[in-house]
Amino acid sequence: MSMIVEPGLVSGHAAQAVSAVPFHPSEIFFSRTDGRGKIVAGNSVFQRISQYDWDELLGQPHNVIRHADMPRGIFWLLWDRIRRGLLTGAYVKNRARDGRHYWVFAIVAPAENGYLSVRIKPGSETFGLVAREYAQLLTLETERSLTPAQSGALMTERLAELGFSDYDAFMAHALTDEVAARNAMIERPEDRMMAHFRKLMDGARSIMQTTAQLVSGYAQHQFVPLNLFVQAGRLGQAGSAIGTISGNYSLLSEEIRSGLASFSVAAARVSSNICEGAFMLGTARIQQETISLFASEPPQAAVDHAREMCHLTAQEQSYRRNARDKLCGIRDDVEQFHRQTLDLKRLASGLSAIRVMGKVESGRLAVAVLADLIADLEAFQAVIAAGLTEIALVNQDLRQKVAALVEAYGSKRNTDEI
């Protein structure tokens, strides 16, 4: 199998290529720390790749393998999350004892009185993107003398610019990409469940983007009722019908505004839960394989093999249960979102009726300004109608996919398949 070329290790950078510690994509390594981040255990792959002896690792801060190329903001993000008890994934460039580096995608979770990190070799396109972003962020840290918190905030902003709604969405996409890339590298069949979740995440992202367009469309046309009311006043008795129309439009516009606010929250919840479910499932997959690999290792005198197996197994079982429960929750969220889509469609139908009445009255009065306002109303209705149609199609696809997943994998009797 051909070796993966790491980002930045291309033609003209031969010296950098030599500095990478080689390890196979099939290898997984883990380490466990206490609450202060000091290493208390790990597997032989971690010890071998770091190139430290166990007596040089145990009791030492985990940043003994920290590489100077890593932006401080990334570690700030990671520690901010895991201290709040959040399962977290991040790309990390580490430094071996001899100065060479190695990249990993690390999944870090709270463990008994500390933290446990499981790591795989990255090889997806997302990895290449992130490596370039890290390099730019590191430069900004130096040029602007950024604090770790400022750097972390800058990275979060940059992820939003790249299309990720938040860090949870980013790490879910990254992990699913890495699982798919890793399976391809070691010539393993595609993980069906992970592939389904990848499609769900694509649908959720589409819903979020279209919902944002709906909210933006409302903001652009929110003053049309007021402008209609003003024009009705200027027309006197002749504008009484327009005044009634503007009043009805105002009431309906407020309902739409309120509906869009609830709709946005529901869309975000669907997206968030799909991303959390995908990340939980991917973590369960990696953890399950870690257990299998660790079980096949010869016991090491420096590490309590049985105790670490207990830690790994307990977490893996928790991840699988949470992934199953999250899948059932996603089903409920998608159904609720479907009902809210129907509610907004009902409001959009009322908007259509008001538009028709306004257009008739505008034609009767033959007032240019009035015609322009009715045109704005038509544009707003078009935005709402098109957006809701697209969302309805995507959401229907999500409902079918989620229902199939729950039917196939969501029951307790099939927990081991999650």
pLDDT per residue, tens digit, the chain (418 aa), is: 333 445 543 333 334 445 889 999 999 999 999 999 999 999 999 999 999 999 999 999 999 999 999 999 999 999 999 999 999 999 999 999 999 999 999 999 998 889 999 999 999 999 999 999 999 999 999 999 999 999 999 999 999 999 898 999 999 999 999 999 999 999 999 998 899 899 999 999 999 999 998 888 888 877 777 777 777 777 777 767 777 877 777 788 888 888 888 889 999 999 999 999 999 999 999 999 999 999 999 888 889 999 999 989 999 999 988 888 888 889 899 999 999 999 888 888 887 777 777 777 767 776 666 777 777 778 888 888 888 899 999 989 999 888 888 877 755 445 555 6
Q: How far apart are CA 135 and CA 13, in angstroms?
A: 15
* Whole-Å CA distances, 322 to 89, 142, 279, 280: 17, 41, 11, 7
Are the C-beta atoms of residues 175 and 107 closer than 8 Å to each other?
A: yes
What is the per-residue pLDDT for 12? 35
Pick left, alpha or beta for residue 91 (phi over 0 → left; psi -120 to 50 → alpha; otherwise beta): beta
What is the per-residue pLDDT for 283? 95
What is the per-residue pLDDT for 167? 95
Output the pTM of the full model: 0.86
What is the per-residue pLDDT for 250? 79
Q: How far apart are CA 61 and CA 82, in angstroms?
A: 16
What is the per-residue pLDDT for 366? 67
Environment class of residue 1 by beta-carbon count within 10 Å: exposed (0-12), middle (13-18) or buried (19+)? exposed
Among 96, 135, 133, 94, which residue's Cα sits nearest to residue 117? 94
Are the C-beta atoms of residues 143 and 80 closer than 8 Å to each other?
A: no
What is the per-residue pLDDT for 411? 56
